[in-house]
Chain A
Amino acid sequence: MERRKLVEDLKSQLGFLRESEVKDIIEEGKKQAAQIIAEAHTKADEMKKREIEQIRANIGEIEIRELEAAKSEQKRRMMNLKIQLIEAAFAASLDTLKQMVNEQVLIYRNSLESLIVEATSQMTGSQFEVILSSKDAEFVRKKLKRIEQEISTIRNISITLGISNEPLRSIGGVVVRSSDGKQVFNNTLEARLAKVRQENLPEIAKILFEGTDA
């Protein structure tokens, strides 16, 4: 009888131990599961937070980025247009010069003398030849002696000028060359136009763009 009781006690103890162990295993499983879910929630919250921060930062940058790009594009377009308009103004100036030469307007004819004087005044030597168009040559030839005298007075030496038979490769103006060919002064209208452009572009642009914000 005692033996039976012992066996039943042992079985009961074994059952109790099993129940306890089963409970622990299940509890541990649930604990781990809860931890996995909690970690996932924490991670999800962090991801959401990061994404929101990124959206907030992005919102701030959209305006700066987009408008800066638009401003930069506008500056480029404005600059290109200005260049085109300046080119057009110089092209119109060149057309006007051609017209003045063709029509032999007084201001042009009268300038030929000063163009020759200006060129020779900046050259050394005493003998020069002037290259100009045949139409201008005809006009200048009549005044050649007077021009020689004027330059001689300025330079304080006796100057001799001749008119070259070489055709002028220009719309007008003069090219003055020393008799030895070592010095050449290009005082054609194209050369003068280029010089005017180089030296006076800011003032010219100011007149062209007067009345604008540019």
Chain B
Amino acid sequence: MLSGLFARNSAAKDACSVVAGDQAAPADRTRTSGDALLQALQTRRYGLIVRGRQQWLQHPHFQSVFEEAVKAVDELFALVPEGMVSLSLSTFDQPGQPETEVPTAAFLLARHAVTNADYQLFVDAGGYQQLEIWPRDIWPHLINMKDQTGQPGPRYWRDGQHDRRLARHPVVGVCYYEAAAYAAWAGYRLPTDAEWQMAASWRVRGAADAQRRYPWGDGFEVGRCNLWASGHGGTLPVEACPEGAAPNGVLQLVGNVWEWTDGEFRCTDRDGRLVVGATLLKTIRGGAYDTYFPWQATSTFRTAADSMARSPNIGFRCALDLLTN
């Protein structure tokens, strides 16, 4: 076994990964029953329940459902304390380049990226047909958000179903708008660019203005995340690489898949010229299994993808504002 910064695992594929060419195993479809509140619980739309509780106060099972949803949120999300981040405004990542300081309030961030199993609930519930959760100017583009067999769904699915062997892997092949729609459907939202960086850098307000280069600390270690150097060549389950967790237990902020954030990418190049994309650029963070440079997966590295891009290495996780009594 080699050692060093770019040591590569000689076992090219993790046991949980799917080898190309293997027969796909479609996942089961979701079946729900009962009224809207009970269906929301069955489809794990906990954010919808806890944030929209006023509309269900008279429901006979509200109290038990609400408690279950709160408990689920407590398990699935972690607190990110308030802080301050410096967002780079230049694509030339060198000291002295323009930055902006952005304060972040405390919020809840999902411990894992959204999985294929999670997203299946959205698809089976007809998420792509619920126009109210999509921006109006995106409606004409919904027709393009199809899987390999022409069914509504992430790009790499088939027949509207994910491969059950990848149930716990992050969902990929979804554009920014699909990520935002899922979050809205579930009662959550996408983290902002600054919030994501706060979660990864842990720059908590205090006398010591310290931040982490990576969620686990300042030194890159190939075993703590899934980047190109890790040698896996594909996504891993969202529970993998526990040694790379942030202080609050959030996993895989770095590596595995890039993550959409709710931020428009506005940067200048080294000569001060505005950088634009062929279409609207949305910020993505964290690096993925095919990220070659570890320094392009740090807590402060900002990059982007076309908002309509449905890439095999971009997923997302959800955020939630703190719940008030």
Do A and B belong to a common assembly? Answer: no
Binding site for A on B (CB under 8 A): none
Chain A residues close to B by CB (< 8 Å): none
